Chains A and B, each alone.
Chain A
Amino acid sequence: MLIGIDVGGTTTDAVLIDGTRIVKISYVPTNHGDLLKCLLNAFDLLMKGVDPKKVERVVLSTTLITNMIAEGKAQPVGLVLIPGPGTNPKDYQLGQEPIVLDGAIDFRGHEIQKLNEDQARMAGRRLSNLGLKKVAVIGKFGQRNHSQEMKAGEIISQIMPDAQIELGHRVTGQLNFPRRAATTLLTAATKDSYREFTEQVARALKERMISAPVYILKADGGTLPLEKSVEMPVETIFSGPAASIMGVLALTPVEQTSVIVDIGGTTTDLALILSGEPLLSSKGARVENLLTHIRAFAVKSVAIGGDSVVNVAQDCVDVGPRRDGAAFCMGGPGPTPTDAMRVLGMTDIGDLALAKKAMGSVASKLRVTLEKAAQMVVDAVVAKIVSEVEQMFLEWEQEPAYRVWEIVENEKLQAQSVVGVGGGAPPLVPLIAKKLGAKSIVPEYAPVANAIGAAVARPTLTLNLRVDTEQGSYSVAEEGLTGKVTGRNMNLEQAEALARKLLAERAERLGIGEQAKEAEVTYSEIFNMVRGWSTVGRLLDVRLEVPAGILEGWRS
Chain B
Amino acid sequence: MAGIKAESKGRAGKTGLIFFPAFDWAISPTHPEREERLLYTRDQIFEEGLMDLPQIEELKPRLATLKDIARTHFCVPDVESQITEAHLVAAGSTMTLADALENGEIKNGFSLARPPGHHSMMVVHGNRGFCNVNNMAIMVEYFRTKYGHKKIAIVDTDVHHGDGTQDIFWHDPDVLYISFHQDGRTLYPGSGFTNEMGGPQALGRTLNIPLPPGTTDEGIHYVLDNFILPVLKDFKPELVLNSAGQDNHFTDPLANMRFSAQGYASLNEKLAPDICVLEGGYAIETALPYVNTGIIQAMAGLDYSHVKEPDFAPGRFTQSDEMNRSIEDTVDELLDIWKNRDLLMESAQSELGDFYRRRKRIFYDTDMINESQEESVRLCKDCHGYMTIASTAQRGYGILNSAYCVSIPRGACKSCKEDAHEEFEEHKDDRKFNYVCLQDKDRDSYQIYDVRTRNRKSY
Which residues of A are at the interface with B, using a C-beta cutoff of 8 A?
Answer: 83, 85-92, 104, 106-108, 112-113, 140-141, 175-179, 283, 291, 398-405, 407-408, 525, 527-530, 532-535, 539
Contact = CB atoms under 8 A, between A and B. Distances in A.
A529 B40 CA distance: 11
A88 B35 contact: no
Given A141-B47, A178-B49, A400 B36 contact: no
Interface of B: 18-25, 29-30, 34-36, 39-40, 42-44, 46-53, 58-63, 84-86, 89, 92, 253, 285, 289-290, 293, 297, 302-303, 305-310
For the complex of A and B, list the 5 residue pairs with the smallest distance between their C-beta atoms, beginning with the closest.
Answer: A107-B43, A112-B310, A178-B49, A88-B303, A175-B46
Given A107-B40, A107-B44, A530-B30, A176 B49 contact: yes
Given A177-B49, A402-B23, A532-B253, 6 more contacts: A87-B49, A89-B306, A107-B43, A176-B47, A400-B59, A403-B23
11 contacts: A86-B48, A87-B297, A113-B310, A175-B43, A291-B49, A398-B59, A400-B60, A404-B86, A528-B35, A530-B36, A539-B39
A88 B293 contact: no
Contacts of A86: 44, 47-48, 293, 306-307
Contacts of B53: 91
B23 A177 contact: no
B306 A108 contact: no
B449 to A, nearest CB: 29
A266 to B, nearest CB: 25
Contacts of A539: 36, 39
Nearest to B17: A400
Contacts of B62: 407
A403 B19 CA distance: 10
B285 A407 contact: no
Nearest to B261: A85
B307 A85 contact: yes
A362 to B, nearest CB: 34
B60 A402 contact: no
B82 to A, nearest CB: 16
A539 B37 CA distance: 13
A179 B53 CA distance: 11
Given A404-B86, A527-B36, A91 B46 contact: no
A85 B305 contact: no
Contact of A90 (B36, B50, B303): B303
A400 B303 CA distance: 25
A525 B53 CA distance: 27
A91 B22 contact: no
B305 A88 contact: yes
Contacts of B310: 85, 104, 106, 112-113
Given A140-B47, A527-B36, A404 B52 contact: no
Contacts of B289: 106-107
Nearest to A398: B60
A85 B308 contact: yes
A401 B60 contact: yes
B60 to A, nearest CB: 5
B29 A528 contact: yes
A87 B306 contact: yes
Contacts of A291: 49, 52
A86 B41 CA distance: 12
A151 B349 CA distance: 73
B68 to A, nearest CB: 15
A104 B35 CA distance: 26
Nearest to B25: A404
Nearest to B87: A404
A400 B302 contact: no
B36 A87 contact: no
B2 to A, nearest CB: 24
B52 A527 contact: no
Contacts of A401: 60
Contacts of B60: 398-401, 407
Contacts of A403: 22-24
B36 A407 contact: no
Contacts of B51: 400
A107 B417 CA distance: 57
Nearest to B22: A404
A355 B40 CA distance: 62
A408 B47 CA distance: 27
Contacts of B47: 86, 107, 140-141, 175-177
Nearest to A291: B52
Most buried by B among A112, A400, A528, A534: A400
A376 B353 CA distance: 72
A469 to B, nearest CB: 13
A407 B61 contact: yes
Nearest to A408: B85
B108 to A, nearest CB: 18
Contacts of B44: 86, 107
A4 to B, nearest CB: 34
Contacts of B29: 528, 530, 535
B302 A88 contact: yes
A108 B49 CA distance: 17
A534 B49 contact: no
B429 to A, nearest CB: 39
Contacts of B50: 87
Nearest to B43: A107
A89 B18 CA distance: 24
Given A86-B44, A107-B43, A177-B49, A402 B21 contact: yes
A172 to B, nearest CB: 12
A87 B308 CA distance: 10
A87 B48 contact: yes
A144 B25 CA distance: 26
Contacts of B307: 85-86
Contacts of A175: 43, 46-47
Nearest to A538: B36
Nearest to A179: B49
Contact of B34 (A177, A405, A525, A530): A530
Contacts of A535: 29-30
A404 B87 CA distance: 9
Most buried by B among A104, A176, A535: A176
Nearest to B35: A527
A404 B85 contact: yes
Most buried by B among A90, A92, A107, A539: A107
Contact of A402 (B20, B52, B309): B20
B236 to A, nearest CB: 34
A176 B24 contact: no
A175 B39 CA distance: 13
A468 to B, nearest CB: 11
Nearest to A140: B47
Most buried by B among A106, A178, A535: A106
A85 B307 CA distance: 5
Nearest to B20: A402
A400 B49 CA distance: 15
A283 B22 CA distance: 20
Contacts of B49: 87, 92, 176-179, 291
B261 to A, nearest CB: 9
B39 A176 contact: no
B30 A533 contact: yes
Nearest to A110: B310
A533 to B, nearest CB: 5
A88 B55 CA distance: 14
Most buried by A among B47, B50, B306: B47
A534 B34 CA distance: 13
